[in-house]
């Protein structure tokens, strides 16, 4: 049985309960074009609020970023790196790869290679989330890179 995406009340097989479904018909509730979840018209979607909260500097080069923790150049590079990983691994295999790579970075004296390896850590965390909806590595990758 599904729950309403707004109030978490039981909603049968539908994403909205009866009350919020009628609000949808009145135009007070809309579906987010980005993530597909329902929210009140007078509020931003949760996915947009999260991306606005994450502003600062790129974890790899230190340049300012308008959104997220990677500059545009490193964001594109991360997306290319994501394609290089095997796509049919289990969650534990992705995690093992992540921790092995993280441990090996401490033995690297070439700063360029270390930066690329850190970018691979971010890509691995993204792939784990994309394939298995597991946020374990996403929650810790930023802190790990700061420690490196």
State whether 116 and 75 are in the same domain.
Answer: yes
Tell me: do 28 and 45 sit in the same domain. Answer: yes
Specify burial of residue 87 (Cβ count, 10 A radius: 0-12, 13-18, 19+).
exposed
Residues 89 and 141 grouped into a single domain? yes
Same domain, 41 and 100: no
* Cα 126 from Cα 75, distance rounded (Å): 11
Model confidence pLDDT, tens digit, residues 2-52: 888 888 888 888 888 889 888 888 888 888 877 788 888 888 777 765 545
pLDDT in tens, 49-91: 554 555 678 888 988 887 778 888 999 999 999 999 888 899 9
Instruction: Calculate ∠ Cα 10-13-15, nearest 5°.
Output: 70
Q: Do 14 and 66 fall into the same domain?
A: no
DSSP letter (8 states) at residue 56:
E
Residues 138 and 69 reside in one and the same domain = yes
- Same domain, yes or no: 107 and 86: yes
Cα–Cα distance, 50 to 139 (Å, whole number): 13
Same domain, 66 and 131: yes
Please give the residue range of the domain that contains residue 130: 55-147
Nearest by Cα to 32 from 19, 9, 54, 15: 15
Same domain membership, residue 84 and residue 26: no
The H or E element containing residue 38 is strand 38-40
Give 131-135's long-range contacts (Cβ < 8 A, gap of 24+): 131/87, 131/89, 131/91, 131/94, 132/90, 132/91, 132/94, 134/91
Residues 8 and 39 occupy one common structural domain: yes
Q: How many domains does the chain have?
A: 2
For the chain, give percent helix, strand, coil, nearest 5: 50, 10, 40
pTM of structure: 0.61
Q: Are residues 43 and 87 in the same domain?
A: no
């Amino acid at each position: 049985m599904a729950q309403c995406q707004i109030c978490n009340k039981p909603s049968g097989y539908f994403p909205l309960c009866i009350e919020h479904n009628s609000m949808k018909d009145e135009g007070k509730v809309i579906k987010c074009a980005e993530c597909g979840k329902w929210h009140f018209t007078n509020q931003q979607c949760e996915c947009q609020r999260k991306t606005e909260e994450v502003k600062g500097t790129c974890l790899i080069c230190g340049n300012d970023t308008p959104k997220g923790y990677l500059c545009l150049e490193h964001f594109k590079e991360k997306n290319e790196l994501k394609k290089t990983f095997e796509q049919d691994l289990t969650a534990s295999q992705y995690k093992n790869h992540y921790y092995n790579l993280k441990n090996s970075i401490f033995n690297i004296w070439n700063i360029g290679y270390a930066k690329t390896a850190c970018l691979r850590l971010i890509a691995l965390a993204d792939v784990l989330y994309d394939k298995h909806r597991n946020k374990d590595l996403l929650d810790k990758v930023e802190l790990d890179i700061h420690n490196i």
